[in-house]
Amino acid sequence: MEKPTLPKGTRDFGPAQMAKRQFIFNTIRSVFQKYGFQPLETPAMENLSTLTGKYGDEGDQLLFKILNSGDFLKDANQENLTTGNWKLVTGDISEKGLRYDLTVPFARYVVMNRHEITFPFKRYQIQPVWRADRPQKGRYREFYQCDADVVGTDSLICEAEIILMIKEVFKGLGIQNYTIKINHRAILSGLAELCKGGNETSLFVAIDKLDKIGEEKVKEELRSRGFADANLTEVFEILNFKGTTAEKIEFITQKFANSEAGKKGISDLTQVLQLLKDFNTTEEHVEFDIALARGLSYYTGCIFEVKINNVAIGSVSGGGRYDNLTGVFDPNDKKSGVGFSFGVDRLYDAMEELKLFPQEAQISSKVLIAHFDAESKKYGLGVLQQLRVQGIASEIYPDAVKIQKQLEYANKKLIPFVIVIGSEEVKSGMLAIKNMKTGEQQKLSVEEVINLIK
């Protein structure tokens, strides 16, 4: 018989992992809801026409496509088949694909439902997405994103609130050493204006790697992409400027004196920082990083990225403002949106590495009822029901087996208390309750047991 396996880059999540994952999901969800976001779910699959062209050529390559049902060759163009033009054949035999992120399906939803939606619309969405790239550390083909976006307002309060939410989620998860990097697309544009010639995107992609590969490697890459060293002097002067956020802003304000884009970026950023003060929060964990660029082509305003320090995993959260997302589906409907996303799978890996999962989050039942014989098992059912009425998660060992085995079961399931029932307990009504951590055992009435555990 052939051994069953999983598709590359996908995982099962057993009870132990699910307990930890749900701890993350619950933390994020409760923060989203506290900030007034409402839930949304969209289908796992979208029409390919909805997805293609939104993520650039690279992104189109990484889309999982779904083969048409039935005789999918029926409608395929014979010429495409014989010439072996796979890209054209793909379009003939596949019209659906798995979602690549949550932002594009959200934009589609907004355009389709704009008459029912009250703007500004704040939605959160926690669902898996799929990417057909080669898996590696911290990178899967199926992974969950937790998105929160606001569409229909260009207020910078949204940007400030994103920072607040990130801080609150990380506090809830117990992650302390992290950095929220912030930048602005217009500041990047200002930077591009300072070096004449060369492709803007190539510049952003290259400088984004600055802290990873260093100045020399970045310059090397830029040279290979047609940038002249002489034109890069001022760019690197800015990128290498060290100082506080306020000092950085002052420095680039002089540099961007003649740049409309640069001035707009600085103004937005300054306002966001001021709003943080108005919210009575500090700039702790927030870092203005002029080299931060994000790949997705639709960001137009502030951009964010969150990294957990001392953990070798990519960013665990990112986002930004896009002025033109709905415009992709309807050119007459250009709504401004801003949003961000947590990568649960990377948060999980990072928290595992940092040993941040609290053990309480892994407890399922609080009590197990163990029994010595049929009569005590029967008696235990009544006790079990009383516990459950009190809202205590509890279970009884269903089979008649040795007490050893029942205690082992509790031990493995991390159940903290075991009520042992035998003929003595049935007779007296006093229950033997054992604390599995300390090993202590005492005789208590049902009411006393409930008070102890609750």
Partner RNA sequence: GUGGGUAUAGCUCAGUUGGUUAGAGCAUCAGAUUGUGAUUCUGAGGGUCGUGGGUUCGAGCCCCAUUACUCACCCCA
Contact set for RNA, span 330-359 (CB under 7 A): 341, 343, 345-346
Of the ranges 28-36, 41-49, 170-178, 432-440, which one interacts with RNA (CB under 7 A)? 432-440
The answer to whether the CB of 211 falls within 8 A of the CB of 283 is: no
Residue 404 binds to RNA (criterion: CB under 7 A): yes
Residue 185 binds to RNA (criterion: CB under 7 A): no
∠ CA 155-104-47, rounded to 5°: 155
Of the ranges 22-30, 236-244, 311-319, 325-333, which one interacts with RNA (CB under 7 A)? 311-319
Of 49 and 61, CB closest to RNA: 61
Please state the closest distance from residue 139 (CB atom) to RNA, in A.
Answer: 4
What is the total count of residues that contact RNA (CB under 7 A)? 61
Per-residue burial over 283-310, b = 16 or more CB atoms within 10 Å of its CB, e = otherwise: bebbbbbbbbbbebebbbbbbbbbbbee
Please state the closest distance from residue 225 (CB atom) to RNA, in A.
Answer: 10
Residue 89 binds to RNA (criterion: CB under 7 A): no
**405 to 424: interface string for RNA, x by CB under 7 A:** --xx-xxx-----x-x-xxx
Could you count the other beta carbons within 10 Å of the beta carbon of residue 83? 11
Which one of 16, 312, 393, 400 is in contact with RNA (CB under 7 A)? 312
Of the ranges 12-20, 209-217, 264-272, 327-335, which one interacts with RNA (CB under 7 A)? 209-217
Please state the closest distance from residue 7 (CB atom) to RNA, in A.
Answer: 7
Nearest CA-CA partner of 403 in 434, 364, 430, 427: 434
Residue with tokens 């796979």: 86
Of 58 and 79, CB closest to RNA: 58
Q: Determine the Cα–Cα distance for residues 304 and 318; give it in Å rounded to an integer.
A: 5
Contact set for RNA, span 27-56 (CB under 7 A): 56
Residue 136 binds to RNA (criterion: CB under 7 A): yes
Of the ranges 250-258, 268-276, 387-395, 433-441, which one interacts with RNA (CB under 7 A)? 433-441
Residue 6 binds to RNA (criterion: CB under 7 A): yes
Contacts of 452 (CB under 8 A, 6+ apart): 417, 433, 444
Residue 439 binds to RNA (criterion: CB under 7 A): yes
Please state the closest distance from residue 349 (CB atom) to RNA, in A.
Answer: 9
| Contacts to RNA by CB under 7 A | 5-9, 56, 58-59, 101, 131, 133-141, 143, 145, 205, 208-209, 212-213, 294-296, 305, 312, 314-318, 341, 343, 345-346, 372, 403-404, 407-408, 410-412, 418, 420, 422-425, 432, 434, 436-439, 441
